[in-house]
Structure 1
Amino acid sequence: MKILLPLILLLLGIGGGVGAGLALRPAADAPSGDAALSGDPGAPEPPAEAEEPMAQPAAALEDHAAPAEYIKLNNQFVVPVVERGAVEAVMVMSLSLEVGPGGAEAVYAHEPKLRDVFLQVMFDHANMGGFAGVFTDTARLDTLRSGLVESAAGVIGPAVKSVLITDFVRQPL
């Protein structure tokens, strides 16, 4: 009798688990990831429209069709970080530009002007405290990037797609 009660409870537990599993299983048209990945021949096939890529806007397809060129600016940018009237650190940054096809010539032709406007944006960012504290915060870097893109577009035009920060170091003095 001592063995019979635990055996009955074990069978009831297994039966309850199987019953709950059958009652709560996903619908036949939405197979679970395990059945689809296992290659089980009894597993239902995914619907045919799931194999086709999702419809994308025409503008997004055109952007991906045009290859981008990446132009690394030759020299690094050095920006002083002034706190309490003294230079506390310097920021050393390397930038690259993402431009549309044929935009490399425009970048190289206007590189001195680009460096000038980029430095002005970085100095303004430093003076607003953008390089103080947690200077790698996403919001701060997004503000800096957007300022760099706007200034580059002002020099080169709409060929500039993005400004990439490739190296970023704060050197305390």
Structure 2
Amino acid sequence: MRKILPILLILIGIGGGIGAGLLLRPDPAAKAALPECAPVEIARDDHDGHDTPDLPEYIKLNNQFVIPIVDHDRVASMVVLSISLEANPGKREEVFSREPKLRDIFLQVLFDHANVGGFRGTFTTAGNMGTLRGALLDAAQGVMGHDVTDVLITDIARQDV
């Protein structure tokens, strides 16, 4: 009986896996009914004669942002985050030339977010992070116009003091 039980369990497991695979297999008719994906818009690169997709440029800001969380008139914790910008192609130099203004406006948004309790509790929820990203994007577009298309929070950490 000791030797038969492991073999029986293996066979039941294999049979259950095959049965689940057959039962959950996608319907071939439904797969055929899926629409085709839209083609990527291609821009002509005159320098080398090759086609290149018109993709956004990702620009990582040089230094991290450090935001103190004040509770009862003392620093209770620190939030450190890194930000990258999604911008139209060719805007890297313009972003870096305006980085001091961008950092200033981002710090103001981050301090305001901290002061309303945005970094307390479970601060990384989708709604909370979406609100923060939206405020940072509005601030970036106030400085750069619509050349900045998104703000990416690439790293975030909170350290309680």
Indicate yes or no: 2:26 matched with 1:33: yes
Distance 1:52 1:93 in 2: 40
**Following the alignment from structure 2 to structure 1, what is the Cα–Cα distance between the partners of residues 31 and 64?**
52
C-alpha RMSD of the superposition: 2.5
| 1: CA distance, partners of 2:26 / 2:149 | 38
SS state at 2:146 partner: coil
Greater Rg by CA: 1
Deviations 1:82-121 (A, max 9, x none): 1122110000000000001111121111000000000000
Residue from 86, 91, 115 that aligns with 1:103: 91
Q: What is aligned with 2:36?
A: 53
Following TM superposition, the consecutive aligned residue runs of length 4 or more in structure 1 with deviations greater than 6 angstroms are none
Q: Which residue of 2 aligns with 1:157?
A: 145
Equivalent residue letter for 2:98:
H
Determine the C-alpha separation between the residues in 1 that align with 2:145 and 2:121.
34
Greater strand percent: which structure?
2
Using the size of structure 2 for normalisation, the TM-score is 0.71
- State the TM-score, normalized to the length of structure 1: 0.66
Report the count of equivalent residues: 127
Trace 1:125-164 onto structure 2 (pairs within 5 A).
Answer: 125-164=113-152
Where does the alignment leave 5 or more consecutive residues of structure 1 unmatched? 1-31, 37-43
Q: How much does 1:66 deviate?
A: 2.6
Residue type at the aligned position of 1:92? V
Tell me the equivalent position of 1:21.
none
Amino acid at match of 2:126: T
2:80 alignment counterpart:
92
Q: What is the percentage of aligned positions where both structures have the same residue? A: 49
